[in-house]
């Protein structure tokens, strides 16, 4: 890592299974950004526990996610790939930043309100504090850019506010980060309900294609995808949402434009079209799944990657935290 490159920070929660929508979004973006920036990529397991998790699953998904990212092309030699809880500075800075954050502003966060409604039996302090922990993640690394989806906009905004508040109260301490809203390439929708985004937690799992679905499952899901009665493979999201969604998926996975994708199926029936979309997806997933399985079988290697990643991260995080402790008046030995 070169010190003069701009710093980029992002994280994902090791919750739920990942869909092909996640591949098209964050994963591909991280891979394409890793060469131009000094990158820190974390598995946000501390954020994950704000909603109750099964411990064995959380542990397993953490490792699976790391293996998946490497299998998709994230290069641990280029980036610091690490697990959030391995770098204790995150929790420590979060505590300090809590004292620069108002209860009222946390109560107004959209995601908090949504999650509080969905998990009414467990509206814990961590759930409310989620954005402050995320601010700590970002600010610890003197981050320039935070690639996130639009759903994280408010969280990056609050991280900026907190940074500015702290800088104004003392002297400039944190870099004020910018969000980098990722081009999602295409919005991938549910195969059975194409008006909805494809989700890792959809009611009917047949509408979502998961990154670990085997070939037969992928082909079967695409075979059952909803189309329409007009029997023309044309991109028209308004009137033909199902077919257009399949065209988007085909376009991304075959790296062809929508027009080229349409041309591939001119005069062909939906049966043939859906099979072709399924095949292009299955063909792309197979080598990733093989690589992920290989990595998961080599736990020593993964542990080594995570150890090196945590060390790289802790080095930088430690510098920032020590500055913060000095400014706020924590006695240091």
User: Mind telling me the catalytic residues?
Assistant: 115, 197, 200
How far apart are CB 145 and ligand TRP at their closest, in Å?
10
Candidates 28, 47, 61, 274: give the one binding ligand TRP (CB under 6 A).
47
- Which of residues 138 and 280 has its CB atom nearest to ligand TRP in the complex? 138
Q: Which stretch binds ligand TRP (CB under 6 A): 4-12, 183-191, 192-200, 247-255?
A: 4-12
Cα–Cα distance measured from residue 21 to residue 187, given in angstroms and rounded to the nearest whole number = 8
Burial of 298 (0-12, 13-18, 19+ CB in 10 A): exposed
CB of 11 to ligand TRP, least distance (A): 4
What is the smallest separation between the CB atom of 233 and ligand TRP, expressed in angstroms? 34
Which parts of 252-311 interact with ligand TRP (CB under 6 A)? none
Q: Which residue in 9, 41, 265, 273 binds ligand TRP (CB under 6 A)? A: 9
Judge whether 16 and 200 are in contact, CB under 8 Å.
yes
Site for ligand TRP in 111-150 (CB under 6 A): 134, 137-138, 146, 148
Q: Nearer Cβ to ligand TRP, position 11 or 233?
A: 11
Segment interacting with ligand TRP (CB under 6 A) among 10-18, 27-35, 236-244, 251-259: 10-18
Task: Provide the minimum distance between the beta carbon of 120 and ligand TRP in the complex, in angstroms, as a whole number.
Answer: 20
Residue of 20, 39, 44, 317 interacting with ligand TRP (CB under 6 A):
44
Cβ 224 to ligand TRP, closest distance in Å?
29
Smaller CB separation from ligand TRP, 51 or 275: 51
- Read off φ and ψ for residue 216, nearest 5 degrees: -60, -40
Residues binding ligand TRP: what is the number (CB under 6 A)? 13
- Taking the complex as a whole, how short is the minimal distance between the CB of residue 146 and ligand TRP, in angstroms? 5
Minimum CB distance to ligand TRP smaller for 94 or for 302: 94
Please give the residue whose beta carbon sits closest to ligand TRP in the complex: 11
Contact status: 13 vs ligand TRP (CB under 6 A) = yes
Residue number with CB closer to ligand TRP (44 or 247): 44
- CB closer to ligand TRP out of 156 and 225: 156
- Which lies closer to ligand TRP via its Cβ, residue 76 or residue 177? 177
Question: At its nearest, how many Å lie between ligand TRP and the CB of residue 5?
Answer: 18
> Which residues have a Cβ under 8 Å from the Cβ of 283 and sit 6 or more positions away?
none
Say whether residue 80 binds ligand TRP (CB under 6 A): no
Residue 8 in contact with residue 32, Cβ under 8 Å?
no
- Three-state SS for the chain is CCCCCCEEEEEECCCCCCEHHHHHHHHHHHHHHCCCCEEEEEECHHHHCCCCCCHHHHHHHHHHHHHHHHHCCCCCCCCEEEEHHHCCHHHHHHHHHHCCCCHHHHHCCHHHHHHHHHCCCCCCHHHHHHHHHHHHHHHHCCCCEEEECHHHHHHHHHHHHHHHHHHHHCCCCCCCCEEEECCCCCCCECCCCCCCECCCCCCCHHHCCECCCCHHHHHHHHHCCCCCCCCCCCCCCCCCHHHHHHHHHHHHHHCCCHHHHHHHCCCCCHHHHHHHHHHHHHHHHHHHHHHHHHHHCCHHHHHHHHHHHHHHHHHHHHHHHHHHHHHHCCCCC
Give the residues lining the site for ligand TRP (CB under 6 A): 9-13, 44, 47, 134, 137-138, 146, 148, 152
């Amino acid at each position: 890592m070169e010190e003069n490159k701009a710093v980029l920070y992002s994280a994902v929660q090791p919750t739920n299974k990942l869909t092909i929508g996640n591949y098209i979004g964050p994963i591909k973006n991280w891979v394409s950004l890793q060469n131009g920036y000094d990158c820190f990529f974390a598995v946000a397991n501390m954020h994950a526990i704000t909603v109750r998790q099964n411990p064995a699953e959380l542990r397993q998904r953490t490792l699976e996610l790391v293996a998946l990212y490497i299998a998709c092309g994230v290069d641990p030699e280029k980036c610091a790939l690490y697990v959030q809880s391995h770098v204790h500075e995150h929790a420590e800075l979060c505590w300090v930043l809590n004292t620069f954050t108002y209860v009222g502003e946390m109560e107004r966060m959209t995601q908090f309100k949504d999650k509080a409604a969905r998990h009414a039996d467990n509206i814990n302090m961590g759930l409310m504090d989620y954005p402050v922990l995320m601010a700590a993640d970002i600010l610890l690394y003197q981050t320039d850019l935070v690639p996130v989806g639009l759903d994280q906009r408010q969280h990056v905004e609050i991280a900026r506010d907190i940074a500015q508040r702290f800088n104004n109260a003392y002297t400039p301490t944190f870099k004020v980060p910018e969000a980098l809203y990722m081009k999602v390439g295409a919005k991938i929708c549910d195969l059975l309900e194409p008006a909805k985004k494809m989700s890792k937690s959809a009611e009917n799992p047949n509408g979502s294609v998961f990154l670990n679905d085997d070939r037969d499952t992928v082909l079967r899901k695409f075979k059952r995808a909803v189309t329409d009665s007009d029997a023309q493979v044309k991109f028209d999201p308004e009137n033909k949402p199902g077919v257009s969604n399949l065209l988007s998926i085909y376009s991304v996975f075959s790296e062809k434009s929508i027009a080229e994708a349409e041309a591939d199926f001119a005069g062909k029936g939906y049966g043939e079209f859906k099979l072709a979309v399924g095949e292009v997806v299955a063909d792309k997933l197979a080598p990733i799944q093989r690589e992920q399985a290989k990595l998961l079988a080599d736990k020593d290697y993964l542990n080594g990657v995570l150890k090196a990643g945590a060390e790289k991260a802790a080095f930088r995080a430690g510098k920032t935290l020590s500055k913060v402790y000095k400014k706020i008046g924590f006695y240091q030995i």
